[in-house]
């Protein structure tokens, strides 16, 4: 049986075997592109992994909350799916108040249950385990940050350093001393002289980065507010030269930081050319990227939609003798619903009446036949 889609064409970035991009995959329960709504739904999981593969995503920073405890089998199966496609599964945890020592116990308990105990559960297969822990702890996003003095901001960075050390010690105590731990950092913590961090001298700044590098496997830099390569490069140059295993992030902010999707894609390519395609770029985030693409107009269409009333319309397309045609609809580009099926008995235009429900969406016409393609 041969299938051919003739209606919907999306902007797709060509895949490249040499690229190993990372992607933040937030829970985002209010979005159809959040892990909370995708992981556990076989159809949506497969569509999401197809998206990953088409765009050379090889690291997924997944936010799953308590689900490794409450839905361990579901998360294990998802990790195994990623592993089968050659994609790392890193467990993403994010809460800025974890830097405070009073919150370490509850934070470490979550890491223990959701990563260490999950991975070490009896019968847990290697492919079902998390490959790493990924921490997004941002003291600069705390509400009091803007009112802190420069020296107080430096002290908050010392708290962050100590939090990383506590996590590493937890894995050491669990008999997993080399388990990978990654973290997200802004690009301006290194600024000296100048900047808002009150480093007493360059040596203190250098020692802080040496200290966190001893606990972390690598870092992802977040130059998300920078809209040119030169601005991004100026923010990451010091870390690339002085910190091991650095990746550079880019935000899928269209329109905004990037005027359109090609500009966003072009900057990814520039970063990979500059820093090495194998381990260079992380994208923030799956939800943002999918929503950007969903908002783009269809760029190739082989059927016309001809409304003739507020509730009904016709989809018109050219048919070929012997082919079967299926009309699908989706409101989120993930879940396609079949609404009609037709067979062409002669070549020429075919008309399929469809009913509008009032919601926006996309239509797709596919064709298939039981006999070999006559073309």
pLDDT band at residue 17 using 50, 70 and 90 as cut-offs: very low
pLDDT band at residue 4 using 50, 70 and 90 as cut-offs: very low
Percent of the chain's residues with pLDDT above 70: 86
Q: Which domains does the chain have, with CATH numbers?
A: 14-294 (3.20.20.80), 303-369 (2.60.40)
pLDDT band at residue 162 using 50, 70 and 90 as cut-offs: very high
Q: How far is CA 108 from CA 116, 137, 327, 353, in A?
A: 10, 13, 51, 58
Say which residues have a Cβ less than 8 Å from residue 23's Cβ, sequence separation at least 6.
52, 57, 59, 60, 61, 282, 283, 285, 286, 289
The predicted model scores a pTM of 0.77
Q: With 60 as the cut, is the pLDDT of residue 261 above it?
A: yes
pLDDT band at residue 360 using 50, 70 and 90 as cut-offs: low
- What are the structure tokens assigned to 146, written together? 């803007």
Q: With 60 as the cut, is the pLDDT of residue 15 above it?
A: no
User: 305-342: per-residue pLDDT in tens?
Assistant: 444 444 556 778 788 877 778 887 877 777 777 777 78
User: 28-45: per-residue pLDDT in tens?
Assistant: 999 999 999 999 999 999
Q: Residue 172's pLDDT is what?
A: 98
Q: Residue 295's pLDDT is what?
A: 79
Say which residues have a Cβ less than 8 Å from residue 360's Cβ, sequence separation at least 6.
331
Q: What average pLDDT score do residues 53-78 get?
A: 96
Q: Residue 325's pLDDT is what?
A: 80
**Euclidean distance between the first and final Cα of the chain, in Å?**
14
Q: Residue 357's pLDDT is what?
A: 60
Q: What 3-state class would DSSP assign to 256?
A: coil
pLDDT band at residue 77 using 50, 70 and 90 as cut-offs: very high
Q: Residue 370's pLDDT is what?
A: 46
**Spatial distance between the Cα atoms of 196 and 179, rounded to a whole number of angstroms:** 33
Q: What average pLDDT score do residues 130-156 get?
A: 98
Q: With 80 as the cut, is the pLDDT of residue 372 above it?
A: no
Are the C-beta atoms of 6 and 323 separated by less than 8 Å? no
The dihedral through the CA atoms of 86, 221, 144, 252 has a sign that is negative
Q: How far is CA 143 from CA 107, 208, 218, in A?
A: 20, 23, 27
On average, the pLDDT of the chain sits at: 87
- Render 53-80 in DSSP notation, one character per residue: HHTTEEEEEE--TTHHHHTHHHHHHHHH
pLDDT band at residue 14 using 50, 70 and 90 as cut-offs: very low
Q: Residue 158's pLDDT is what?
A: 98
Q: What average pLDDT score do residues 255-282 get?
A: 89
Q: What average pLDDT score do residues 210-221 get?
A: 98
Q: With 90 as the cut, is the pLDDT of residue 276 above it?
A: no
């Amino acid at each position: 049986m041969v299938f051919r889609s003739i209606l919907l064409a999306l902007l797709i970035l060509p895949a490249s075997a040499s690229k190993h991009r990372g992607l933040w995959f937030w829970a985002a329960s209010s979005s159809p592109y959040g892990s909370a709504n995708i992981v556990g739904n076989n159809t949506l999981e497969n569509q999401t992994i197809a998206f990953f593969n088409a765009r050379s995503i090889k690291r997924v920073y997944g936010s799953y909350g308590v689900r490794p405890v409450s839905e361990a089998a579901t998360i294990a199966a998802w990790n195994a799916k990623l592993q089968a496609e050659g994609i790392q599964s890193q467990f993403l945890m994010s809460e800025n108040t974890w830097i405070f020592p009073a919150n370490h116990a509850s934070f470490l308990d979550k890491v223990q249950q959701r990563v260490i105990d999950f991975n070490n559960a009896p019968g847990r297969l290697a492919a079902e385990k998390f490959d790493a822990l990924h921490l997004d702890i941002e003291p600069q996003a705390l509400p009091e940050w803007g009112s802190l003095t420069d020296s107080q901001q430096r002290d908050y960075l010392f708290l962050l350093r100590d939090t990383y050390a506590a996590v590493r010690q937890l894995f050491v105590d669990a008999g997993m001393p080399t388990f990978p731990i990654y973290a997200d950092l802004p690009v301006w913590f290194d600024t000296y002289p100048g900047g808002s961090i009150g480093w007493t001298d360059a040596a203190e700044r250098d020692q802080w980065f040496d200290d966190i590098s001893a606990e972390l496997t690598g870092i992802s830099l977040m130059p998300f507010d920078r809209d040119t390569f030169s601005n991004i490069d100026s923010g990451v140059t010091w870390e690339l030269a002085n910190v091991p295993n650095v990746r550079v992030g880019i935000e899928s902010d269209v329109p905004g930081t990037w005027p359109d999707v090609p500009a966003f894609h072009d900057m990814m390519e520039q970063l990979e050319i500059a820093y090495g395609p194998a381990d260079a770029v992380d994208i923030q985030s799956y939800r943002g990227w999918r929503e950007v693409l969903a908002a783009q107009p269809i760029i190739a269409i082989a059927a016309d939609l001809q409304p003739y009333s507020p509730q009904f319309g016709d989809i018109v397309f050219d048919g070929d003798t012997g082919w079967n045609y299926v009309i699908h609809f989706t409101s989120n580009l993930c879940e396609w619903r079949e609404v009609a099926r037709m067979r062409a008995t002669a070549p020429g235009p075919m008309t399929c009446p469809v009913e509008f429900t009032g919601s926006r969406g996309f239509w797709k016409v596919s064709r298939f036949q039981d006999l070999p393609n006559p073309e």
